[in-house]
Amino acid sequence: MAGKTLYEKIWEDHVVTAPNEEPTLLYIDLHLVHEVTSPQAFDGLRLNGRRVRRPDLTLATADHNVPTDPLSVPVMDPISKRQLEVLDENCAEFGITVFPRGHENQGIVHIIGPELGVTQPGMTIVCGDSHTSTHGAFGALAFGIGTSEVEHVLATQTLPQQRAKTMSVTVEGTPPAGVSAKDIVLGIVGRLGTGGGAGYVIEYRGEAIERLSMEGRMTVCNMSIEAGARAGLVAVDETTIDYLRGRPGVPEGDAFDEAAARWRSFVSDDDAVFDAEVTLDAAALVPFITWGTNPAQVVALSGVVPSPEGVEDADERNTITRALEYMDLTPGTPLRSIPIDVVFIGSCTNARIEDLRAAAEVARGASVKAGVRALVVPGSRRVKNQAEAEGLDRVFIAAGFEWREPGCSMCLGMNPDILTPGQRCASTSNRNFEGRQGRGGRTHLVSPVVAAASAIMGRFASPEEVNA
């Protein structure tokens, strides 16, 4: 009999019951909650007189619409203010730990779980947010759910689930210098397309993935959903264990060694069989940028805007034409000649300390181009404090970047950080959908170093150009 994949091991560990002809009831070890997808779920509980089964396995934070202004500035938007208050009220009523705006542990939900050490290998983790796949970097099965499912998990600590198919995405070899985790995942999404991972849980493997830091692995797993997969996984290794050691949610001393020994089992067996296998050659990866309105519309930063001409499939041709029109781009234009208005360094994809360090290295001693607005939004208060302890805030501020308070910010434009119609943005976030960062805004997804370089050059640029 073939061995088991990592996904199958976690799945089997969490089966509460698997009745005939009904979906498996899967136990959830950690439920992360934020203000946007939870109010209607809590309301549903109240309407039906239901309680939260395990408030002690539930953790809430304010992230999606917190302003990133200094904390002394109140929340101006009354609807956002109300939603943030409702989260606090619901958590108080149902006994859930919550990190409101200004709290020492507050931040983007997918940044704080790992940094607090509550995200651990072998767990099942859900959140009413599609980027929950981020936590898969720890060898945890983590996926996004809708509000009805949030209510379901609150009430039962379980979810009825159908088993997914498994896909291995192997990135062989080592990427060239200058290729970051973001470029790896943009390359993967470009290869799979927006629907290529639908129905699958992806396990990222291969030397290029093994060599990544935990921050880099989180960036890769984060964008699994951009290829249509609800979850992404990376096997546990010493990089995982070293990252977890000493974090608040992780046991200490002998208990840590015991936990680590168990965590090391969360890898796919050598003879495990995947339902689909995809292989990429790391040596062929380059710094990437999206040119269109879905995250699979990716080209090399050194390349040109593609043309719909010669594309055989009519549907695909229309999609390209529509995207070019929305993005106001002409086929054949070199990406590096396109001027930008805004730079956003932030989001659950790229707002961890390593991302800020990399961007700060590019910004050090340089100046943001006149007319460009450049924001740096740390992923959490802990990231912000760490960055300030390292002096990164001073590097950014000296270069003309705005250094802001933590939150989701311009990734999805629910707070006041939005693009105005027609503005073009180099963004380290995960989605370049029409209007995602503000109505009429044009988003190009890039890595933190490319975002920083673009801020300085006033056009899409690679870091080498900054010092040239």
Nearer to another protein, 83 or 166 (CB): 83
Q: Which amino acid is at 223?
A: M
In this chain, which of 4, 6, 37, 352 binds another protein, going by CB under 8 A?
A: 37
Query: Could you say whether residue 59 binds another protein (CB under 8 A)?
Result: yes
Enter the DSSP assignment of 230. S
Instruction: Return the exposure string of 445-467: e unless at least 16 CB atoms fall within 10 Å of the residue's CB, then b.
Output: bbbbbbbbbbbbbbbbbbbeebe
Closest distance to another protein from the beta carbon of 282 (Å):
27
Choose, by CB under 8 A, the member of 5, 52, 58, 209 that binds another protein.
Answer: 58
**Which are the contacts of 262, defined by CB distance < 8 A and separation ≥ 6?**
122
Please identify, using beta-carbon distances, which residue of 303 and 435 lies nearer to another protein: 435
Q: Which of 439, 466, 407, 463 is nearest to 111 (CA)?
A: 407
Nearer to another protein, 75 or 366 (CB): 75
| 31 DSSP β-pair partners | 58, 126
Which has the closest alpha carbon to 86: 451, 320, 96?
A: 96
- Interface residues for another protein in 403-462 (CB under 8 A)? 412-414, 431, 433-436, 439
- The minimum distance between CB 337 and another protein, in angstroms, equals 27
Beta bridge mates, 232: 202
Q: By the 8 A CB rule, do 435 and 414 touch?
A: no
Instruction: Please give the residues from 174 up to 233 whose contact with another protein meets the rule CB under 8 A.
Output: 194-195, 198-199, 225, 228, 230
Binding residues for another protein restricted to 70-99, rule: CB under 8 A: 77, 79-80, 82-83, 86, 97-99
Q: Is 245 in the site for another protein (CB under 8 A)?
A: no
Q: Which residue has the tokens 């072998």?
A: 122
Q: Write out the binding residues for another protein, residues 360-399 only, by CB under 8 A.
A: none
Site string for another protein, 246-285 (x = CB under 8 A): --xx--x---------------------------------
Q: Does 23 bind another protein (CB under 8 A)?
A: yes
Helix, coil or strand: residue 290: strand
- Taking the complex as a whole, the smallest distance from the CB of residue 409 to another protein amounts, in Å, to 12
State the minimum distance, in angstroms, from the CB of residue 456 to another protein. 29
Q: Which is nearer to another protein, 3 or 246 (CB)?
A: 246
Q: Is 12 a binder of another protein (CB under 8 A)?
A: no
| Radius of gyration from C-alpha coordinates of the chain | 21
Q: 212-239 b/e with 16+ CB inside 10 Å = b? A: bebbbbbbbbbbbbbbbbbbbbbbbeeb
Comparison of 430 and 462: residue with beta carbon closer to another protein: 430
Piece of the chain touching another protein by CB under 8 A; list 16-24, 327-335, 352-360, 445-453:
16-24
CB 224 within 8 A of CB 133: yes
Considering beta carbons, is residue 29 or 286 the nearer one to another protein? 29
As given in the structure block, the two tokens for residue 224 are 């699994």
Binding piece for another protein, criterion CB under 8 A, among 143-151, 268-276, 300-308, 358-366: 143-151
CB of 283 closer than 8 Å to CB of 179: no
| Span 282-301, contacts to another protein by CB under 8 A | 293-294
Q: At what angle do helices 181-192 and 214-222 cross, to 10 degrees?
A: 30
- Residue from 69, 88, 94, 160 binding another protein (CB under 8 A): 160
Q: Are 267 and 6 spatial neighbours (Cβ–Cβ below 8 Å)?
A: yes
